[in-house]
Structure 1
């Protein structure tokens, strides 16, 4: 009799495993290290999907190991495993921050740079925690053999992830670097849907497909369906948003309307070492390099605007008459010039974009709005300033600036990482900008993957608002991005030179995109819906426990 019971139990376990021969009591499957390995693996796979590694296809299954790691864990354990996965991801994808140690002097500041990198990675990893908790609670309450419950789980965890990404982009001034959707920047067909939901909707598609794959794989190990090895509806449904996005993107790209109005820009990439900018003895050499590149670009003819990168000039610009004469060489042939420089005004320093018309006269400027903590200002200065090389805080710009270009479409500048902050581009387009300029200095981190990651974010600003962008950088990547996110006319990183090309501004009567008109509705819905999901799941689990206790 005992032998018969053992045989029946063995058969039951084989059915639960979904495949005859899988032993759920195998030491490997019951190893306490397995969840940690799953958490680590997801962190690595996610990082491998971003520029620097460039395996973007991995993103569609990268979260599956983490979901397996937490699906049967307690809330506390799920939070810890998710935090670990996020920490690994951000340490790998943001590794270029370690280059800051070569830009500061003194052992104390170098140690501060390393600790700051680790703290930032840990902070960003916190936004993985709600997703892990949602997977753990949702797996217990919804995931199983009921199709509609599984689909509800897929939508729920996607909302939580997108809401967490959105919150990371706005909390404490925001750090919106490397949301999942950015990994797909080179997939022009997939990302066209961003004109409706921004980068958030692309992230949602990725997480939704991961959730469908997780449920399908889970059926092989924990399911009880008879036809286990036939394709599951959850996997098909998980693929659908990606497939529909690609189909919509192909339709958009194949039916692009011709644009006849053009602007010709020349982008100067001086490739100046960051340390050289601080050496006053090298100031004449820097000016000479900028002058020669600008003069060569101006001889091309038909150039409407020459652009220098962020803080191209080593000295602070005060917009005095003497300084206008000094800069007139660059616009002496009647070509307007947009320079990046620090400016001093009304007792404050600003990181500015300064426009000189074709006669070499000052004609407008833009001050950076989104300042970098510990780079342009120090939070809690009484406590933190001694750990940074920043002696003064920069002033903050109040609004976007639309700069008219004589005979051509008006534009708005964005400085440094402002092209990663989606609301700034949207505000500029709403204010009347028909194309964008990003001036940046990635010399702080180059050579590294940071340049391409930075470019990847800029691609989404163009698709979201259907405007082109000219990116002019110190060390790379300089280039022109069209309104559909296709990058062209780019200079290689860590190279000196210039490039010139056409861009096609947004038409005056062109209807603004849904994203431009309404903002990141998907991200906001994810934040509100994600909070609701966690409340419902947590509350539901507690009610079940109370009922069991009462019984």
Structure 2
């Protein structure tokens, strides 16, 4: 006979091995509420404090599994909006929605899993433990944003997007550096309330110094009057559902909508249309170029997302581009997206994977050469980015030719009324802070916005709104430390963090 297993005998094992993993998943989900559109950062000490408690002084395998469970909950909820894109063409791709979101969450969870395994391996506790924990988490965020082309979505620093003062720390250390400080602040309370007076006092002092430093930096950065340029922009938000965007039955209506909205009364120097606003190859359509020219005064230009194609060595090459068109119907400049979306704009390892792109088109897009600055007569130089490119800290402008502002053409219609577009807007605001440059985004269904160099939302059009947005272009700020030195600033705070942890750990060992 097989030996029977009683419920009572499973109880301790269940509580020891399974319950902490379930708790970790819940903690991971809770951290998403710190990020836009919820923006409630007070949940961070619960989420990260709980993760710190579950992994400190634990074995590496257990810490790895706990970190994976936390990451799975975090990414599953935070990236749930991706499912919306599969239902644009539900007949072909709808079945992939759940497996894709679950699979992506599981894969991305390997980064916090590895971070927690490394943290557990250091055997650090107390204040030095919180320093190492924060470094491990931020290091995993940097890896996530770098490995295999990177996916730095929902960085922890974005908890401060809707808070002017703490957000300014990104101008100094970037989003990865601000994320490190945020996680450190979130875990220090676990030490503050311990009985060890030395550790509690040190944690309290560090917490106070960090809060004061972030506050002073933010207030100093925000000192001074807001300045605007004499340049006026007009953003057109056509609000065309993704299912209708490429449907021939809606082609004439879609084109007319952009032309009619653009022609509304008002003066502008720069007209802005979103990603692939024109349903076709705009650079090949002379009639449409002529209609656009009628909208523009002598020195005005249109910047618009557009698909292009060209024959290169006998093969057709497609690009996702931004075109600059002047009042003579000439294309005076063009930029090709260089950071493409896997499976959306190209299929990685196409020869090995029997998969199709989720977006309409005849073939994979070819990447451009990298960030560029458009220089146009009598207008400030603009750095170009398309959609997904706005999520990459330190990789959005040409550092050798710093622009006066950044334009992002995007199409978030793929994600409907989900939390995705708000999260995408948060990335744009943080890029503005990091670079000290105004950031203007034109989004097909929203959220279109004018953002100043401090990341403040000057004006915007809501999700699902059909309208235009007119406004003065904010002035560029002086180059920020992050703009000048890039991720060196993150690695600086990272190194200081670990050095302090090593010193504290050495002192603890000496005393003991």
Mapped pair 1:111 → 2:95: yes
Deviation, structure 1 residue 313: 0.6
The partner residue of 1:188 within 161, 164, 170 is 164
Q: Which residue of 2 aligns with 1:514?
A: 481
Q: Which residue of 2 aligns with 1:474?
A: 444
Mapped pair 1:244 → 2:221: no
Mapped pair 1:63 → 2:48: yes
**Using the alignment, how far apart are the partners of 1:36 and 1:111 within structure 2?**
28
With over 3 angstroms needed to count, the CA separation of the structure-2 counterparts of 1:132 and 1:345, relative to structure 1, is same
Deviation, structure 1 residue 330: 3.2
With over 3 angstroms needed to count, the CA separation of the structure-2 counterparts of 1:319 and 1:525, relative to structure 1, is farther
SS in structure 2 at match of 1:428: coil
**Using the alignment, how far apart are the partners of 2:287 and 2:253 within structure 1?**
20
**Using the alignment, how far apart are the partners of 2:213 and 2:75 within structure 1?**
30
Q: Which residue of 2 aligns with 1:451?
A: 421
Mapped pair 1:367 → 2:339: no
**Using the alignment, how far apart are the partners of 2:249 and 2:59 within structure 1?**
61
SS in structure 2 at match of 1:50: coil
Mapped pair 1:401 → 2:372: yes
Q: Which residue of 2 aligns with 1:341?
A: 306
Return 378-387 or 466-475, whichever deviates more. Answer: 378-387
Q: Which residue of 1 aligns with 2:468?
A: 498
SS in structure 1 at match of 2:188: helix
**Using the alignment, how far apart are the partners of 2:497 and 2:165 within structure 1?**
28
Mapped pair 1:283 → 2:254: no
Mapped pair 1:294 → 2:262: yes
SS in structure 2 at match of 1:282: helix
Deviation, structure 1 residue 529: 8.9
Structure with more strand by fraction: 2
With over 3 angstroms needed to count, the CA separation of the structure-2 counterparts of 1:513 and 1:526, relative to structure 1, is closer
**Using the alignment, how far apart are the partners of 2:323 and 2:60 within structure 1?**
52
Q: Is the 8 A contact 2:112 2:140 kept in 1?
A: yes
Deviation, structure 1 residue 387: 4.9
Return 164-173 or 67-76, whichever deviates more. Answer: 67-76
Per-residue deviation, residues 100-138 of structure 1 (Å, max 9, x unmatched): 23112435x222333222221112111112332244344
SS in structure 2 at match of 1:186: coil
1:91-130 aligned at under 5 Å gives the runs: 91-106=76-91, 109-130=93-114
TM-score (norm 2): 0.88
Equivalenced residue count is 488
**Using the alignment, how far apart are the partners of 1:234 and 1:482 within structure 2?**
36
**Using the alignment, how far apart are the partners of 1:357 and 1:48 within structure 2?**
44
Return 323-332 or 307-316, whichever deviates more. Answer: 323-332
Segments of 5+ residues of structure 2 without an aligned counterpart are 1-11
Return 54-63 or 341-350, whichever deviates more. Answer: 54-63
Deviation, structure 1 residue 211: 2.5
With over 3 angstroms needed to count, the CA separation of the structure-2 counterparts of 1:419 and 1:280, relative to structure 1, is same
TM-score (norm 1): 0.82
Q: Which residue of 1 aligns with 2:5?
A: none
Q: Is the 8 A contact 1:263 1:505 kept in 2?
A: no
**Using the alignment, how far apart are the partners of 1:91 and 1:161 within structure 2?**
18
Q: Which residue of 1 aligns with 2:233?
A: 265
Q: Is the 8 A contact 1:401 1:413 kept in 2?
A: yes
- Larger CA Rg, structure 1 vs 2: 1
Deviation, structure 1 residue 407: 2.0
Deviation, structure 1 residue 248: 1.2
Mapped pair 1:162 → 2:138: yes
